[in-house]
Amino acid sequence: MAQPQMTPPGIHSRTTDESPDPHRRIIESFLTVRNLTEALTSNLEPEDCGAQSMPDCSPAKWHMAHTTWFFETFVLGPHAKSYEPFHPQFSYLFNSYYNGIGERQARHQRGLLTRPTLDHVLAYRSHVNSSLVALVEANDPQNLKAIGEIIELGIHHEQQHQELILTDLKHLFSQNILAPSYRPPLATEPSSIPALNWIPIPEGLHWIGAGPDGFHFDNETPAHRVFIEEGLIADRLITNGEYRSFIADGGYTTPELWLDTGWATVQKEGWTKPLYWRGGPHDYRTFTLAGEQELQNHEPVAHISFLEAEAFARWAGARLPSESEWEITCGQIPIEGNFVESGRFHPTAAGPALTKAPRQAYGDLWEWTRSSYGPYPGYQPEAGALGEYNGKFMCDQMVLRGGSCASSAAHLRPSYRNFFYPPDRWQFSGIRLAKDAQ
């Protein structure tokens, strides 16, 4: 019997840009992401940036300060010898969940922070930017490697918060009877629902997880083998029109379709349709970052919880894919799609069917899987406070894959594991079905 391969060279790796001048490469990457945060918030009023619509959401101003605190705390504090914190109490105000760093403002009270002002937060960002650039320029290549790795983590951390700025702002604006819009109206072209096809999931042993090259979070490692039974996975996301059929057929009033937690949540919260749907059933409208608009049946159904996705899958005579099934079927195609760079901030309809390849694998909507968020075999978190980034949340949450219309394209990988609690639905999340082989 042949000796099994112990490591999967290059699995899901992405080449790191190794420009001749590492100082320039790090600084350009850092400032590009920092500038995008400020571009995403540049048209907001100060009042937009300070409000908090629910405990799970945070004010845009807090996101802007927290990402700055991350670089100040994990890069400048340990590595810039003469650096003094911008403000002695910002560590308390803008620490998120790092117990190893110290006490912090309660999450549900972030909307109480009328001070610092938005201008003060922008000054904080500018101060940390210039200090970090100076630190990079002052270090030789040998020291720069360790600093650069933490900066790269901070860049990906800020990209996550850029997405949260958009999702949290959408929830905030949706609470206002004036239905404010973040961007100009979307062009809509009524169309028929695209055909749904099924792609084979090959049976056998498969490698999943991140390889040794390129950036990845610790929860994507180690790469390991999984055995997959033969099955089928849908080649596109479920549409608004298909979800309307679920509602019309008693989807929210049929307990047999729901997990026990799901049915209890439906009863407690009074769910009758997805978050942001209004009116109905014949005149549904939906709230978007471009304001309220007529619901488009051919577009993917968005802002769906895991509980709703699971119920829909049962109604459709299917199930949700496991994260392993998702990765081995969607992980081999290019990372192309509708991302934050498009400026649309809203999912688009599936394009023409591909030959034995999934559509909408990246961008548009995060896709719920039936996999609980837990450690891979042999997982080890990062040492120190940075080890709190992912590992301590491996309980009671479900994995999502793919990315969304609010994600940066450069932030995503086939091995990327997003995670949220089953009732959560303010994120850009949707449904891709799977089923067992016939």
Domains along the chain with CATH numbers: 22-174 (1.20.120.450), 198-436 (3.90.1580.10)
Per-residue pLDDT at 16 exceeds 60: no
CB 306 within 8 A of CB 265: no
Q: What percent of the chain is modeled with pLDDT above 90?
A: 86
- pLDDT mean over 90-118: 97
3-state secondary structure of 11: coil
- Please state the separation of Cα 435 from the chain's center in Å: 25
Per-residue pLDDT at 9 exceeds 50: no
Pairing verdict, β 224-228 and 231-234: unpaired
217-233 pLDDT, tens digit each: 999 999 999 999 999 99
163-178 pLDDT, tens digit each: 999 999 999 999 999 9
- pLDDT mean over 422-435: 98
Pairing verdict, β 429-430 and 224-228: unpaired
Confidence of residue 14 (pLDDT cuts 50, 70, 90): very low
341-352 pLDDT, tens digit each: 999 999 999 998
* 20, 142, 276, 277, 346 from 428: Cα distances, Å: 38, 41, 11, 14, 8
DSSP codes joined into one string, 27-49: HHHHHHHHHHHHHHHTT--HHHH
3-state secondary structure of 92: helix
Per-residue pLDDT at 10 exceeds 80: no
Per-residue pLDDT at 1 exceeds 50: no
Confidence of residue 385 (pLDDT cuts 50, 70, 90): confident
Per-residue pLDDT at 438 exceeds 80: no
Pairing verdict, β 429-430 and 366-372: parallel
DSSP codes joined into one string, 143-212: HHHHHHHHHHHHHHHHHHHHHHHHHHHHHHHHT-TT---SSPPPP----PPPP--EEEE--EEEEES--S
Confidence of residue 406 (pLDDT cuts 50, 70, 90): very high
Give the predicted TM-score (pTM) of the model. 0.94
Per-residue pLDDT at 27 exceeds 90: yes
Confidence of residue 191 (pLDDT cuts 50, 70, 90): confident
Per-residue pLDDT at 372 exceeds 90: yes
Tell me what pLDDT residue 174 has: 98
Tell me what pLDDT residue 356 has: 83
Cα 175 to Cα 173: distance, rounded to the nearest angstrom: 5
